[in-house]
Amino acid sequence: MCGSQGGGTLRRCLSRAVFLMGMVSLGCASYSPPPPVASPEYLLRLESEADRGVQVSAVVLSDEESKRAFGANLARKGIQPIWLEVQNQEPQDYLLMLNSIDPQYFSPSEVAWTTRGFGEAGGDERIRFFLDQHIPLVIEKNSTGRGFVYTHRDPGGKAFGVSLVGDRDLRRFEFVQEVPGLKMDWMHVDFEDQYEPNEIRDLDLNGLRSYLEELPCCVLGGDQETAGDPLNIVVLGNGLHVLAVFVRQGWDMTETMNKGSVWRTIQSSVFGVKYRTSPVSPLYVFGRPQDVALQKTRGSVDRRNHLRLWRAPVTFQGEDVWVGQISRDIGVKLSSKTVVTHKIDPLIDEARFSLLMDMAVSQSLGRVGFVKGVGVSGGAAPRKNYTLDAYYTDGLRLVVFTSDSVVALDKIDWVDWEIPPGTGGYMATPVAPQE
């Protein structure tokens, strides 16, 4: 009873009544979808790829665009919608393979349930709305399918593939898009004006080998003078779309280094928080820092595989040639060069082999070969990178030729160049103890 009690008790009773009234009102709340917009602004960023009678157009929504489109904060739940339009002018139906866009995509019902309000009624209406917004899974012949796919959130930039399966027919499309928000390394590069047209030479296979073997042994460190990690990988593929191949295998693009990203990196290292897009330090080839950086992190930024790529002033049969460096970070250490830096796995060829396996299982590897690179360094005479980490290598550069078509593991071609010495040069000579 509240009427005969003191002031403090009365206030508690009134508070309880207000809470109960709020619970009743919440229980009665129902879902109201946002009003439709005739021409959403995000469609201005729409990009299209075509293959004969099939055209796929796509755009990734930013956090704010997603919130306006669905009336819910999908980004807070780690969800990022992609709007797709598939025009099928072929005489057969195609099945849209959602897992080609995101292997762990979200279903419409999952998104609806995850984003519901506390005490919200009308769950069926919310599920129906998110289902209605989803693109059809079957794109019938001579028709167009439109709608969303619900993917995992990637801040700043997103690379993804879209695969359509017909009757003994597969069409694959690759997209790399900027998402309003964070800035990624590759967004600062003007690839169209990076080289003058007369600077770029198109090479045949023999010319490609000669060019790759004449490259410098290593990247240059932060002082742009001291040799660092070896240039140990080369990727051939058309433009930035080659990124989609890496992303399908779990690689993330990296952010630009600034105060915010550096602070998030420190938090990840100290508290063990996963930070997928943490920046990597600039290293130099062709007189400039890396054009693109990618990484696979574990629990924190202390342990990760990371690679850097530079577009070379040559092409092979019209395809871009990306020269790169890959290594595995296994911890952090103090450094006279940079105060604190990562400790790399001294068996550096292991990271190179890991990349080869990734490319092979992606079914986008057409050919593979090895050319001469930094040269052998074993336990008796290890080389050192910019931050004085010793490393051991067979001295070769891995060259991977990406393919637009699906390539089974037993169909990958071998280029008869250099032959890696068994399990790697680092195994040929006993590894010296580490200090």
DSSP 103-147: TTPBPHHHHHHHTPPTT-B-HHHHHHHHHHHBPPSEE-TTEEEEE
Confirm if 161 and 244 have CB atoms less than 8 A apart: yes
Alpha carbon of residue 183 to chain centroid: 14
pLDDT of residue 243: 85
* Non-local CB neighbours of 318 within 8 Å, separated by 6+ positions: 202
Cα(38)–Cα(44) distance, integer angstroms? 13
Exposed/middle/buried for 144, CB within 10 Å: 0-12, 13-18, 19+? middle
Cα(110)–Cα(77) distance, integer angstroms? 11
Q: Could you report how far apart the first and last alpha carbons of the chain are, in Å?
A: 76
Assign 3-class secondary structure to 301-340.
CCCEEEEEEEEEEEEECCEEEEEEEEEEEEEEEEECCCEE
Q: To the nearest whole percent, how much of the chain has pLDDT over 90?
A: 52
> How many distinct helices (H) and strands (E) make up the chain?
10, 24
Report helix, strand or coil for 87: strand
Confirm if 250 and 339 have CB atoms less than 8 A apart: no
* Non-local CB neighbours of 110 within 8 Å, separated by 6+ positions: 150
Burial 21-39 (b: 16+ CB within 10 A, else e): eeeeeeeeeebeeeeeeee
Q: pLDDT confidence of 32, banded at 50, 70, 90?
A: confident
> Which residue in 225, 222, 173 sits closest to 56, CA to CA?
173
| Structural element, H or E, at residue 254 | none
pLDDT of residue 43: 96
pLDDT of residue 410: 95
Confirm if 161 and 174 have CB atoms less than 8 A apart: yes
> Which residue in 157, 156, 173 sits closest to 165, CA to CA?
173
| Strand 383-384 with 413-414, pairing | unpaired
**Mean pLDDT, rounded, for 106-120:** 86
Higher-confidence position of 287 and 3: 287
pTM above 0.75, yes or no: yes
Q: Which domains are present in the chain? A: 41-178 (2.60.40), 185-428 (no CATH)
Q: Is the pLDDT of residue 339 over 60?
A: no
**Mean pLDDT, rounded, for 272-294:** 83
Q: pLDDT confidence of 20, banded at 50, 70, 90?
A: very low
Check residue 363 and report its DSSP letter: T
Lowest mean pLDDT among 5-14, 26-35, 52-61: 5-14
pLDDT of residue 250: 82
Q: Is the pLDDT of residue 167 over 90?
A: yes
Q: What are residue 384's DSSP bridge partners?
A: 390
Q: Is the pLDDT of residue 360 over 60?
A: yes
| Strand 319-335 with 304-316, pairing | antiparallel
